[in-house]
A = this chain, B = another copy of it.
Amino acid sequence: MTVPNRQVRRTRARVLEAAHRLLADEGPDAVTHLRVAEAADVARATVYRHWPDRIDLLVDLLESGASPPVFEPPPGDDARARILAALGRASNNFDGELGRSLRLLLARADWDERFAHAKAAITGAGRAVLVGLLEEGRRSGDLVFEETPEVLVDRLLGPIVVRSLLFDDPVDEPYLESLVDAILGT
């Protein structure tokens, strides 16, 4: 991995930013070499040099946009509060632009290996964070449960996902609290 030039970094950043706007405004079909180049005020050939395949550009876009803050391990004292904060962060990310990226990732992963990798990385990371919080709570004695942590993650994350990604209903703080209490028995 050679570290890219300043010029290269600047160009990539400009292109990605333009592509990001295009994706957000007009959807994945609008992210073509031509339109991205025009929006970024960059030669079309330049876009081809960096991303010979349109799909690579889309994957880059989704990975850079959807990855970092989705399930960041939150600070806090007891396990319940930390889990609550993690779920709140997740639900905040699910609606809005990040939710759209996630849905796009889910759909494209069915037909394209590159999207599948990105999907696995992101969902895997999120799952790992929650599993970690649960195990930490069990070790510290804050939580007592019989099921595997993975099963509990399903039960905690699932309702939020269904509600925001499928039903387009809001998820607020009371909803999360009653969910956590019901699942974790706190």
Interface residues of A, Cβ cutoff 8 Å to B? 26-28, 99-100, 103-104, 106-112, 120, 123, 127, 147, 150-151, 153-155, 157-163, 165-169, 175, 178-179, 182-183
Cβ–Cβ < 8 Å partners of A161 in chain B: 158, 161-162, 166
Cβ–Cβ < 8 Å partners of A153 in chain B: 162
Q: A123-B167, A127-B167, A162-B157 are in contact. Are A103 and B111 (CB under 8 A)?
A: no
Residues A106 and B167 in contact, CB atoms below 8 Å apart: no
Residues B158 and A163 in contact, CB atoms below 8 Å apart: yes
Across the A-B interface, the 3 shortest Cβ-Cβ residue pairs:
A158-B158, A27-B111, A107-B107
Extra pairs beyond A154-B158, A162-B162 (17, CB < 8 Å):
A27-B108, A27-B110, A27-B112, A28-B111, A99-B110, A100-B110, A100-B111, A103-B109, A123-B166, A151-B175, A151-B178, A153-B162, A154-B163, A155-B155, A155-B158, A158-B163, A161-B162
